[in-house]
Amino acid sequence: MSNTTPVPIADLSKLDISTLPAVTPQAPKPNGLWSSNPVFSYLNDAYNSISEHRKSLGLSNPGTIENLNKEVSRDVFLSQYFFTGLRADLNKAFSMSPAFQTSHTLSIGSQVLPPYAFSALYATDDYFVQGNIDNDFSFSGRVNYGWDKHNISKLTLQLANGQPSMVQLEQDYQASDFSINLKTLNPSLFMESGNAFSGVAVGSLLQSLTKNFAVGLEAMYSKQSGATPPDSAVSYVARYNAGNWIASAQLQAQGALIASYWQRVTDKVEAGLETQVAATMKPITDSLMGTPIGFEPVVEGQTTIGAKYEYRQSVFRGQLDSNGKVGVFMEKRVLPTVSILFSGEIDHSKNASRLGLGLQFESAGNEQLMMMQQGLIDANGNPVPGAPPAL
């Protein structure tokens, strides 16, 4: 187990639909369009045949393209955890159902974290709300609402002091064997030159072909305000999930290939590998004049390998890339409500290093929550077998 025990959040995809009015589908009339027209009748029979065949394959939902290689990039690698300087976190949980908790973060000497930040989280079975504000009054927040077990609407907002604001609208549809995601970033439907769309629009589809293999694509359309021509790109992805190992690949329209591999070595150890290869154009300059005289194709690549060791009271992550950069992150629980965080990085190619040290405090709003965080009782208040007696 991780030494930081987060407050469990309910599944956003769950929604009680028993209160919704029942709708009884009506069979098409014998002389209706779908039965009388031979073309439509053939298409309807073909669709029903394909649907029955898909059900017989026993396919499962492959997830979303956004989480294509999350086992490597989010679980094993340090990108979601690394920090520099001194840091202190105070997390307090007020309730479990619905989940409500707050967090105060103090930092010194960090180039990314603000000196102070406050965040709050509230979640139920239907929706999820989270907000964060720092000492410069820069605000970021997101809201997720689950209409039913298949549809989730998401809103993300960022209002940074002295920087452009950002708003993102997103819709997820997850069926039994495929997922569709539609999102738009800073959309504007009305421009000075007339009615037109500006912003970024992204659509993706991930479809399971077998129980383990899924393929998909992601299309992006970008249009800035003014006379700038729009830009579009299409990426192709594939994912194979064998249970104890997962392999994924993504071919981007810019000529970049990203491949990752995740392996569960033991119950406590996970390993990940990611390779990025990109074909770019490098300018050629005249050796005497220093002026550009042309371009030449260049293929650049980087490989990163990492491992995660998870023990009862600590979690260790380490990674190494082909550029000579070594990074580690350790999380050690020293008391039931206190954890020590350490992160370090050495860049041999740049002859530079970075360090980070932090403390994390967890407290509960009542005695029952505190005992649950210490692993003494379960969510129903029953004692956990083998747990030490409460003091």
* Residue entry with tokens 């206190």: 338
Check if the beta carbon of residue 251 is closer than 8 Å to that of residue 257.
Answer: yes
Show the DSSP H helices in the chain as ranges: 33-36, 38-57, 70, 367-373
Task: List, for residues 169-219, the tens digit of each pLDDT value.
Answer: 999 999 988 999 999 998 885 444 455 778 899 999 999 999 999 999 999
Contacts of 45 (CB under 8 A, 6+ apart): none
Choose which CATH entry (2.60.40.10, 3.30.70.260, 2.40.160.10, 3.30.1340.30) describes domain 33-373: 2.40.160.10
What tens digit of pLDDT does each residue of 149-178 get? 899 999 999 998 878 889 999 999 999 889
Contacts of 241 (CB under 8 A, 6+ apart): 62, 212, 214
Spatial distance between the Cα atoms of 268 and 264, rounded to a whole number of angstroms:
8
Residue whose C-alpha is closest to residue 189's, from 205, 172, 169: 169
- ∠ CA 251-183-82, rounded to 5°: 65
* 384/391 Cα distance (integer angstroms): 15
The larger pLDDT score, comparing residue 342 to residue 26, is at 342
Chain position carrying tokens 């992150």: 329
Q: Are 144 and 157 in contact, with CB atoms under 8 Å apart? A: no
Choice between 14 and 353, residue whose per-residue pLDDT is larger: 353
- CA 220 from chain center: how many Å? 18
Is 13's pLDDT higher than 50? Answer: no
Lookup result for tokens 């079975």: 125
What lies within 8 Å, CB to CB, of 289 at 6+ separation is: none
Convert the pLDDT of each residue in 206-265 to its tens digit.
999 999 999 999 999 998 877 778 889 999 999 999 989 999 999 987 789 999 999 999
Q: What dihedral angle (degrees, nearest 10) is formed by the CA atoms of 146, 105, 93, 78?
A: 60
Query: Could you tell me the CA-to-CA distances from 196 to 103, 133, 222, 225 in Å, in that order?
Result: 42, 34, 12, 9
Which pLDDT tens digit goes with each residue over 328-366?
999 999 988 899 999 999 998 889 999 999 999 988 765
- Choose from 46-55, 317-326, 363-372 the range with maximum mean pLDDT: 317-326
The strand pairing partners of 134, in sequence order, are 117
Q: Are 178 and 195 in contact (CB under 8 A)?
A: no
pLDDT for the residue 372: 58
Cβ burial of 218 (10 Å; 0-12, 13-18, 19+) is buried
pLDDT tens profile 262-310 = 999 999 999 999 999 988 777 777 777 767 777 777 888 999 999 999 9
DSSP state of 90: E
Q: Where are the domains positioned within the chain?
A: 33-373
Residue 383: per-residue pLDDT: 64
The one-letter code for the residue type at 115 is: P
Flag whether pLDDT at 21 surpasses 60.
no
Q: Which residues contact 273 (CB under 8 A, 6 or more apart)?
A: 72, 260, 261, 262, 303, 304, 305, 306
